[in-house]
Amino acid sequence: MINHLAIVGATGAVGREACDILTGRGIEPERISLLASSRSAGTLIPVGGTDLPVLELAEDSFAGVDYAIFSAGGDRSKQYASVATAAGAVVIDNSSAFRMDRDVPLVVPEVNPGDLAVHNGIIANPNCSTIIMNVAVWPLHKVNRVERMVISTYQAASGAGAAAMEELRSQTGDYLADRPIKPGVFPSQCAFNLFSHNTPIGPDGYNTEERKMIDETRKIFHDPAIAIGVTCVRVPVLRAHSESINLTFEKPITAGEVRDILASAPGVEVVDDVEARRFPMPIDASGRDDCMVGRIRQDVSQPDGRGIELFVCGDQLRKGAALNAIQILELLAS
Ligand code: A2P
């Protein structure tokens, strides 16, 4: 039962998706507060057939709120999550602000729903690439521990927000019209190009996005020893991430066994039709809840039979962000 739900960042790419998903899943809070900056105050957003006005986020926004989904960037989360919890709300936070805090559960509902049992009022929604990879790898890891994984991501513009998606659209038009390209949200041209993920690079050479995938997966899987190597790349795709994943299992496993396990895994759709050459594509994953998994094959470079290769596509705005947050909300409120 949800009495009063607040969506912080309701005008953003994830916030709008959350409004959409609520209706689709039949979630009907008694009251919904849509919150964003003063720039958006008064904007109307459709939720379940009603246009709701956006309100300016402020200290008094959380009176009577029992659940708040935050998707307005880490700074807003740091400033307002404690305001919301002090008012009695449980916060589901989409930023990275609290993900690695010991007393904050970091939850993918298909993987570690039990971690929701103990919290201090804040639940963290994991990084989008982490969620999409975890949904595909966890069902296998449960059966035969993954000792090591090597991932390369092909990440959509939506991960950087609504303005980044707009930049990809307008740059594509500029490129085709032979107009000069002016990068704004992204540091480099995103149309007809790809580039290393635009987060800061740490002393170990990994960028923040790559570090999140390593650290968050270890926390979610409760397996601090799992070895993870990852390269994160931004590609000119609007809203679904793709990932090439190479796995080394503790014991030998066949591609057929992997296919069977994934065929009944929650949140996974196996798309792996070699004859029809039908495999996961971001355009097909866009707007869908399930993560598509395909190109399932034995890794020929691991002759002991412990290696598997996968290719995964998942909607960054849905399973990578808003849907995962709403699944957490459903578990908390049930
Ligand atoms: P606004 O549209 O009013 O700027 P995205 O991730 O797609 O970029 O969306 C970011 C979200 O965070 C938007 O809803 C945006 O609202 C919101 N936001 C950004 N800055 C603030 C702020 N200072 N106070 C409240 N909400 C903010």
Burial level of 24, CB count in 10 A (0-12/13-18/19+)?
exposed
Q: What is the mean pLDDT of residues 308-312?
A: 98
Residue 160 has pLDDT above 90, yes or no: yes
Is 158 touching ligand 1 by the criterion CB < 6 Å?
no
Closest CA to ligand 1's atom 8: 161
Assign 49 a pLDDT band (cuts: 50, 70, 90). confident
> Percent of the chain at pLDDT above 90?
98
Closest CA to ligand 1's atom 4: 37
Question: Judging by DSSP bridges, how do beta strands 50-56 and 31-36 pair with one another?
Answer: parallel
In the chain, what is the greatest distance between 2 CA atoms, to the nearest angstrom? Answer: 62
Task: Round to whole Å and give the CA distance between 148 and 214.
Answer: 11
Q: CA–CA distance from 248 to each of 215, 229, 299 (Å)?
A: 18, 12, 9
94 neighbors 50 (Cβ within 8 angstroms):
no
Structure tokens at 37: 């900056």
Q: Which of 8, 37, 38 to mutate to test the pocket of ligand 1 (most atoms within 8 A of CB)?
A: 37
Ligand 1 atom with least separation from CA of 41: 3
Q: CA–CA distance from 141 to each of 111, 134, 166, 222, 317 (Å)?
A: 10, 10, 38, 11, 25
Q: What is the mean pLDDT of residues 243-270?
A: 98
Is 39 touching ligand 1 by the criterion CB < 6 Å?
yes
Q: How wide is the angle at C-alpha 199 spanned by C-alphas 196 and 202, nearest 5°? A: 100
Is 12 touching ligand 1 by the criterion CB < 6 Å?
yes
Assign 1 a pLDDT band (cuts: 50, 70, 90). confident
Q: CA–CA distance from 61 to each of 6, 30, 58, 181, 291 (Å)?
A: 8, 16, 5, 40, 35
The catalytic residues are 128, 241
Which residue, chain included where needed, has tokens 């008094």?
A: 60
Assign 116 a pLDDT band (cuts: 50, 70, 90). very high
| Segment 72-104, tens digit of pLDDT | 999 999 999 999 999 999 999 999 999 999 999
Q: What is the pLDDT of residue 23?
A: 87
Cα-to-centroid distance, 129 and ligand 1 (Å)? 21
Q: In terms of Cα–Cα distance, which of 315, 333, 293, 334 is closest to 18?
A: 315
Is 230 touching ligand 1 by the criterion CB < 6 Å?
no
| Segment 170-185, tens digit of pLDDT | 999 999 999 999 999 9
Assign 26 a pLDDT band (cuts: 50, 70, 90). confident
Ligand 1 atom with least separation from CA of 36: 26
Cβ neighbours for 285, distance < 8 A, ≥ 6 positions apart: 240, 242, 291, 292, 313, 314, 315
Q: CA–CA distance from 192 to each of 169, 233, 240, 243, 315 (Å)?
A: 11, 14, 17, 19, 21
Task: Round to whole Å and give the CA distance between 8 and 37.
Answer: 9
| Segment 220-230, tens digit of pLDDT | 999 999 999 99
Cα-to-centroid distance, 160 and ligand 1 (Å)? 12
Cα-to-centroid distance, 79 and ligand 1 (Å)? 13
Is 74 touching ligand 1 by the criterion CB < 6 Å?
no
Ligand 1 atom with least separation from CA of 160: 6
Closest CA to ligand 1's atom 21: 37
Task: Round to whole Å and give the CA distance between 315 and 244.
Answer: 15
Closest CA to ligand 1's atom 20: 37
Phi, psi of 104 (to 5 degrees): -115, 115
pTM of the model: 0.97
Is 126 touching ligand 1 by the criterion CB < 6 Å?
no
Cβ neighbours for 291, distance < 8 A, ≥ 6 positions apart: 132, 135, 136, 267, 268, 269, 285, 312, 313, 314, 319
Q: What is the pLDDT of residue 122?
A: 98
Chain-wide mean pLDDT for the chain?
Answer: 97
